[in-house]
């Protein structure tokens, strides 16, 4: 078993300079708690290892699966933001339609200008 993915110690800090040795039966990731005192209470993931490189990760922290979750999350986020942009830019589109209805000489050109300007700020999914 290659233990290069495990640090020498977990939770090293000024108040605990030696930290805690790794448990090679558990996932190799160091967890940072979300509480405000988490800077001094980091710990090794408590889940069993068996996934990812050298089978040193748990199912949650497996780098490939974590990256896939991040990509899916980003995609959902960008879709949400782009949908919100359509809602926020309704007045711009309405103004363009109003100009066309009022007899703008180049309706196609005006529409293309508005669409081009709108697409500049669109997030790619």
pLDDT at 51: 92
Residues of the domain holding 123: 62-125
Q: Which residues contact 50 (CB under 8 A, 6 or more apart)?
A: 57, 58, 59
* 68 shares its domain with 124: yes
pLDDT at 26: 92
Q: pLDDT by residue for the chain (125 residues), tens digit each?
A: 567 889 888 888 778 888 888 889 999 998 888 776 656 678 899 999 999 888 999 999 999 999 999 999 999 999 998 888 878 878 888 788 888 888 888 888 888 888 888 888 777 76
pLDDT at 59: 93
d(CA 83, CA 91): 15
How many whole angstroms from its chain centre is CA 35? 21
Our count of domains for the chain comes to 2
Q: Which residue has the tokens 């078993």?
A: 1
Domain termination residue (choose one: 36, 59, 82): 59
* 39 shares its domain with 90: no
* 68 shares its domain with 28: no
* 43 shares its domain with 75: no
pTM metric for this prediction: 0.63
Burial class (CB in 10 A: 0-12, 13-18, 19+), 57: buried
pLDDT at 122: 75
Q: Which residues contact 20 (CB under 8 A, 6 or more apart)?
A: 9, 10, 11, 43, 44
pLDDT at 76: 94
pLDDT at 106: 85
pLDDT at 75: 93
| DSSP output for the chain | ---TTS-S-BS-BTTBTT-B---TTB--PEE--SSTTGGG--EE--SBP-BSGGG-B-TTT-HHHHHHHHHHHHHHHHHHHHHHHHHHTHHHHHHHHHHHHTT-S-HHHHHHHHHHHHHHTPPP-
* 98 shares its domain with 48: no
């Amino acid at each position: 078993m290659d233990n290069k993915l495990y640090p020498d110690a977990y939770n090293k800090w000024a108040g605990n300079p030696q930290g805690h040795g790794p448990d090679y039966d558990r996932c190799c990731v160091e967890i940072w708690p979300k509480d405000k005192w988490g800077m001094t209470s980091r710990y090794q993931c408590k889940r069993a290892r068996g996934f990812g490189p050298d089978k040193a990760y748990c199912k949650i922290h497996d780098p490939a699966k974590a990256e896939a979750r991040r990509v899916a999350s980003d995609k959902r986020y960008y879709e949400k933001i782009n949908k919100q942009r359509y809602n926020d830019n309704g007045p711009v589109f309405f103004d363009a339609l109003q100009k066309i209805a009022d007899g703008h000489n180049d309706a196609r050109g005006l529409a293309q200008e508005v669409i081009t300007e709108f697409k500049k700020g669109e997030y790619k999914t």
